[in-house]
Amino acid sequence: DQQVKQNSPSLSVQEGRISILNCDYTNSMFDYFLWYKKYPAEGPTFLISISSIKDKNEDGRFTVFLNKSAKHLSLHIVPSQPGDSAVYFCAASYTGNQFYFGTGTSLTVIP
Amino acid sequence: DVKVTQSSRYLVKRTGEKVFLECVQDMDHENMFWYRQDPGLGLRLIYFSYDVKMKEKGDIPEGYSVSREKKERFSLILESASTNQTSMYLCASSSPQGRSSAFFGQGTRLTVV
């Protein structure tokens, strides 16, 4: 049973606009959430994370928002750039030992 | 710079062959993982290990085994490769201390013909 879900398989955004990627989870025990970026034929690279004690974490153009009551997190990229085109995975953890990944959202930033 | 290194970027194997995928990390991490990535299915956990000689089954362990004889090395073994094991295989490592991310290798694209 998928505990972390990304319901949008793909997203297209104009360069300079905001990209919003969404993720939902079912396990209320999760206390740490991460976003990864993956280019074709490469391994995922860590992008940004958030602890469950926070509702927002920002790193440059990337901001992650966490809504615990809705069991929902989102990644905002502002402004979007063509180099941001990749597959984005959200992940969650509650033991520090195992990570549960979503199915990914393919972002295309159109120049 | 932290590193997780997988032994091969691309592999082509025949059905029925025994296949070894090797992964080495230089971060002294206790945890190591093997995932496979397939379109529309995301990253699915095959096996993970939280210590030398320790292993736990993930979501899709059937047809696979693992070996962890040294802390830095985690091997995935396909006992008898089948065409439905054609996939991208990703190794990762992490520390269980505090809240840390998992670091991934570059991936191995395995094709079974």
Q: Does the CA dihedral B60-A98-B88-B40 come out positive or negative?
A: positive
H or E element that contains A12: strand A10-14
Q: How many alpha carbons fall within 13 Å on the CB side of residue B84?
A: 4
| B4–A43 C-beta distance less than 8 A | yes
Question: Mean pLDDT, consecutive 10-residue segments, chain A of 111 residues?
Answer: 90 98 95 94 93 95 97 98 97 84 96 94
* B39 prior amide bond cis, ω within 30: no
Nearest CA in chain B to A93: B99
Chains A–B, number of C-beta pairs less than 8 Å apart: 64
| B48–A98 C-beta distance less than 8 A | yes
Sites in chain B below the pLDDT cut of 70: 1-2, 98
pLDDT of residue A95: 73
pLDDT of residue B98: 66
Find the chain B residues whose C-beta atoms sit closer than 8 A to any C-beta of A: 4, 6, 9, 31, 33, 35, 40-45, 48, 50, 90, 92, 94, 96-107, 109
| B101–A34 C-beta distance less than 8 A | yes
A 10 A CB-CB count for A18 gives: 13
The CA–CA distances, whole Å, from A102 to A109, B42, B93 equal 21, 6, 18
Work out the burial of residue A25: count CB atoms within 10 Å of its CB; fewer than 13 is exposed, 13-18 middle, 19 or more buried. Answer: buried
